[in-house]
Structure 1
Amino acid sequence: MLQRTNISSGAPAGSPTICVTGLRGFPHVMGGIESHCEELLPRIKALWPGHRSVVLGRAPYLPEPVGEHRGVEIVGIPCPRSQHFEAIVSTFLAVLSARKRGAGLIHIHAIGPGLLAPVARLLGLKVVVTHHGTDYHRAKWGPLARGALRAGEWLALSFADRVIAVSPSLAAQLRQSFPERAQRIAYIPNGTSDLPGDADPALIFERLGIADGDFLLAVARLVPEKGLHDLIDAYERSDRTAKLVIAGSADHASEYARDLLARASDRVIFAGVQSRATLKCLYEHCALFVMPSYHEGLPIAALEAASCGARILLSDIPANLDIALDAVNYFPVGDVAELTARLNADCTDFQVDRDTVRARFSWDRAAAETLEVYRTALAPRRRVPRPTATPGTARG
């Protein structure tokens, strides 16, 4: 039975369970959605300590089947480690698990897992879906997968009680495409904050073979839509003597990732997945952070780099433009010649105002706004009383 929330006072009545799925899990799991949830959910728990927060992640990515992180329970749902099937299988099982746990609400992340929104509603759960980006535009997907992702978007928008979009351009696009659902769509951006930990820079520089302030940095998964092939092409054509460090790995083995890793050299360094403390150090000491992506939601890596004071150069896709940096901080996506010219420029040209970025993108504010979405979704629907007949009124 759905537990009720006191909307007027903001205090929960009882201790409702909110389950979260669509992500692999956290902490120490690579991915934008994973970082999003790792920052957001503990903050919501702190704002609303009376509720039970349970992440139903994917067991192959978690060190333990059951864990806890900053008040949030982490449970691994068995699923195949497969590019095409793990999301749908794990989300289906997570929806069943949420129902079994007596959850009042399930929060589904991404439009692929959004395919299960109608199943969750059928089982009596309230549903919130966070739309992290139009994944059907990603180069790695074939026609069938793209069709499934478009279907997931449609089902999420049609059946979720509330939908959250992480960028203003995405929220505007969804309201235009789904005008009848426009009032149920909220824009809540990703945030940025001080990254945890204080890694020793000297040890990191020695391990990676780089020098302080004398390396370019990219942080991304090794997939085509991140545009790392363009970055390496531009870097190799440029006059840069600083090394290029690429932090991140591939979710699954692919020909693209193998081809990319084959381009490693003493100047192009693939650092693999790094801890957030190490990333903080790399952001703070790089000569330039570069994101040449063809597709993003609202890029957390770019927000973190800006928050750490890095100089920044981004492709001019809508999600990157939503960060609202100066025009000099953007280059035309896919234009290797222009990217080469920018890499040859003085890196000080790409400095950003970290305080402005921090003021615009706050995880604390995102947590408060997401909590309000939860409360709205959990609130019992008000029934409109039927009109009563007055004396002398004919009744049909």
Structure 2
Amino acid sequence: MKVCVTGLRGIPGVMGGVETHCEELLPRIAALEPEIEIEVCCRAPYVDPAMTSFRHVALTPLYSPTGRISEALVSTLVGILHARRGGADAVHIHAVGPALFAPLARLLGLRVLLTHHGADYDREKWGRGAKLMLKLGEWLGLRSADRVVCVSPSLAARMKARYPARADRVEFIPNGVSTMPPSPQDDGDVLAELDLIAGGYILCVARLVPEKGIHTLVEAFRRSEEGNSDARRRTLVIAGAGREDDRYAQDLLAMAEPHIRFLGMVPRSRLGVLLRNAALFVLPSFHEGLPIAALEALACGCPVLLSDIQPNLDLGLAPARYFPVGDVAALAARLRADEAAPAAANTPQELPDTLLDWDEVARRTAAAYRKLKTGKSLRHALTAAS
């Protein structure tokens, strides 16, 4: 069985939650199910064309424009046509925008697995037309896909309620967590190179995009530190990058000052050091699927503070681990309170049931792949009915 994966920018080392999801998941499925051939349809501008495989997963760079919604749609269309020409049996589509082409994939004789990473149409960056298109993608994807995986329990429940006739095809499989790779240097040496002190900084790991709410965190941090002398001030560290031509990312980077640091993309070995030694991990998102960064912070024992959007609430943490989304004053107050009485590290009892390692997530997703083998393409069904 051959499966082509589309809807993502590419792997490995490409920024984005969907990309991290695929980089962790797909090689594990390939190891579990060696008879399943997996090929990722990468967007050429984001990957090294000389890299043709990654941990037994084939990588094929394909034409893609660089833009917001047009990039995802055009690259998915190209990926599905490539899958058909290449003799694939199925496509694994990621996200609801690319799911617009799920019916086409079925008509071309391909079986379809859709992973729904979240209600992208709720993101503020999209205009009315784009939001309608994303909602249409969800509708077409849920009605056309052979199987649908939702990364959070509340999302799976909503999809089953919204599409009751397809409820038996929808299942919840969370994002996973993996052990951070060891750092070749001692934690103290890494922190010294970054001019940071263990327990002396607040950490956020996120792309520099509006839905992550980093602007609210910066403002709240500034308010929380008012009146503190330089000797007492903590540092806000933001690990993540944005598009070079993106105005929002540029505006964020302009907010940098000695105690507000933007590190860009951080290698995972160093990210583990940052998570293990942070006083607090904060994720102020307005929109998430199931936040991989928060899961990794929890797994590293780092105290967390999350916005109270439903995907974050799905983690089932204590109420003290949440703050009202977008409320700068409330977040500033929580940061001041944490400075006075630092949050304790996570105990095993506090860790959510959704905290699964990627090996278990791969086993569950591989089972969804196997179920595709028993399905029939829409073209097959139409032929049989005629």
Give the TM-score normalised by structure 2: 0.91
Matching residue of 1:261: 253
CA distance in 1, matches of 2:167, 2:91: 21
CA distance in 2, matches of 1:198, 1:354: 24
Larger mean Cα displacement after TM superposition, 289-298 or 268-277: 268-277
Q: Residue 346 of structure 2 is aligned with which of 348, 352, 356?
A: 352
Q: Residue 278 of structure 2 is aligned with which of 256, 261, 286?
A: 286
CA distance in 2, matches of 1:368, 1:87: 28
Matching residue of 2:58: 73
Give yes or no for the alignment of 1:306 onto 2:298: yes
Q: CA RMSD in A?
A: 1.8
CA distance in 1, matches of 2:310, 2:78: 34
CA distance in 2, matches of 1:149, 1:57: 21
CA 251–357 in structure 1, closer or farther in 2 if over 3 Å, else same: farther
Give yes or no for the alignment of 1:237 onto 2:223: yes
Q: Residue 204 of structure 2 is aligned with which of 199, 218, 230?
A: 218
CA distance in 1, matches of 2:359, 2:78: 31
Matching residue of 1:375: 370
CA 121–303 in structure 1, closer or farther in 2 if over 3 Å, else same: same
CA distance in 2, matches of 1:74, 1:357: 35
Paired residue type of 2:105: A
The DSSP-based 3-state class of the residue aligned with 2:92 is strand
CA 150–350 in structure 1, closer or farther in 2 if over 3 Å, else same: farther
Larger mean Cα displacement after TM superposition, 300-309 or 205-214: 205-214
Deviation at 1:208, TM superposition (A): 2.9
Give the TM-score normalised by structure 1: 0.89
Q: Residue 319 of structure 2 is aligned with which of 327, 330, 334?
A: 327
Whether contact under 8 Å (2:174, 2:354) holds in the other structure is no
- Answer with 1 or 2: which has the greater Rg: 1
Deviation at 1:259, TM superposition (A): 1.5
Q: For structure 1, which runs of at least 5 residues remain unmatched after alignment? A: 1-15, 384-396
Q: Residue 56 of structure 1 is aligned with which of 38, 41, 51?
A: 41
Matching residue of 1:118: 103
Larger mean Cα displacement after TM superposition, 310-319 or 351-360: 351-360
Task: Count matched residues.
Answer: 367
Percent identity, please. Answer: 49
CA distance in 1, matches of 2:293, 2:160: 27
* Post-superposition CA distance 1:37-76 (Å, at most 9, x none): 1111111111111221111111111122542211111211
CA 357–45 in structure 1, closer or farther in 2 if over 3 Å, else same: farther
CA distance in 1, matches of 2:270, 2:293: 13
CA distance in 2, matches of 1:310, 1:285: 8
CA 352–71 in structure 1, closer or farther in 2 if over 3 Å, else same: same
Give yes or no for the alignment of 1:277 onto 2:298: no
CA distance in 1, matches of 2:71, 2:267: 24
CA distance in 1, matches of 2:172, 2:305: 25
Whether contact under 8 Å (2:281, 2:302) holds in the other structure is yes
The DSSP-based 3-state class of the residue aligned with 2:124 is coil
